[in-house]
Amino acid sequence: MKRNLLLFLAALSCLQLSLSAQTTVGNQNVDRFPMDQWSDSTYGLTWLPASYASNPGKRYPLIVFLHGSGEGGSGIAGLSNLLNQGIPKMIANGWQAKAVNPRDGQTYEFIVVSPQHSSGWSYNYDQVKYILPGVLSKYRVDSSRIYITGLSAGGDGVYTCIGSGDTSFVKLISAAATFSAS
């Protein structure tokens, strides 16, 4: 009886550990974010700075990266497509998502969120307006330093965000759209 109870408790502990273990793809955490008013969600990758867990009172700047049309995919298996271009690829190759500010000489670490659209295109304002509040509620983000950038179709998504006419949303973000030469 004692042996069976011990085996059961050991199995329960292993199950709990496996359920709480964070899945990663390309050195980034697999995450889910709301993408509409109906609570539908999307998968994505999240990079947290190395100091995130050890500095519970610190807030970090956020970069939202919108992928190009070739990086779409569905489910956890499709997230590896995000590693083909841009910031998710750089993080997968070892970049730590930090930069030195030339004005004050300080090094800043960033949270990076890369939501993935299930089709071949990328997200635009209609989804980002739900994704961003989901990120802000889940992570310690410095809401005065939110940056959105995109590659190709993701660059189009950036422009829909800044051109949305939603002044409170636009005030929240700083935008930098990029396009590939292909």
How is 143-177 classified by DSSP, letter by letter? EEEEEEEEETHHHHHHHHHHTSS-HHHHHH-EEEE
Q: pLDDT tier at 2 (50, 70, 90 boundaries)?
A: low
- Render pLDDT for 99-146 as a digit per residue (tens, 0 to 9): 998 999 999 999 999 999 998 789 999 999 999 999 999 999 999 999
Instruction: Give the pLDDT of residue 1.
Output: 62
Could you tell me the pTM of the whole model? 0.84
Segment 81-89 shows an average pLDDT of 95
Instruction: Give the pLDDT of residue 167.
Output: 87
Distance separating alpha carbons of residues 166 and 125, to the nearest angstrom: 9
Q: pLDDT tier at 13 (50, 70, 90 boundaries)?
A: very low
Distance separating alpha carbons of residues 127 and 133, to the nearest angstrom: 11
Q: pLDDT tier at 71 (50, 70, 90 boundaries)?
A: very high
pLDDT of 147 > 90? The answer is yes
Distance separating alpha carbons of residues 108 and 49, to the nearest angstrom: 10
Segment 61-75 shows an average pLDDT of 94
Q: Which of 71, 72, 97 is nearest to 84 (CA)?
A: 71
Percentage of the chain beyond pLDDT 90 is 75
The token duo for 152 is 């190709």
The token duo for 151 is 């590659």
The token duo for 165 is 């006419």
